[in-house]
Amino acid sequence: MDEQRTHPETIRTGRIVLWELSLEDAAEIYGYTSDSEVTRYVFFDAHEDVNQTVAYIAPFNRPNKVGWSMVERHTKRVVEIEH
């Protein structure tokens, strides 16, 4: 564990896993951030390309900030992010 980290790397429940948000998750996150049916319920417009998703999650991928990828345990699919 990093000296600066004050939280666990991963949190597991029966159905989901939370892990630290990573730029490596961008392609999966883009899968739903590009869907206008999904984004009509959130505060941002549908992403037109994965670079918009990378820019959106990058601020939460820093030592002082923590974002979480919410992953379905049985599919290993990122279904949401929390920050």
Residue 1: the pLDDT is: 43
CATH architecture of 10-82: 3-Layer(aba) Sandwich (3.40)
Give the span between the Cα atoms of 57 and 18, in whole angstroms: 15
What ranges do the domains of the chain cover? 10-82
Give the span between the Cα atoms of 74 and 40, in whole angstroms: 27
Distance of CA 46 to the CA centre of its chain: 15
Asked if 79 and 38 count as a contact pair (C-beta separation under 8 A), the reply is no
pLDDT tens digits, residue range 32-48? 999 999 999 888 899 99
Mean pLDDT, to the nearest integer, of 21-37?
92
Separation of first and last alpha carbons in the chain: 20
Residue 19: the pLDDT is: 87
Q: 68 CB contacts (<8 Å, ≥6 apart)? A: 11, 18, 19, 20, 21, 81, 82, 83
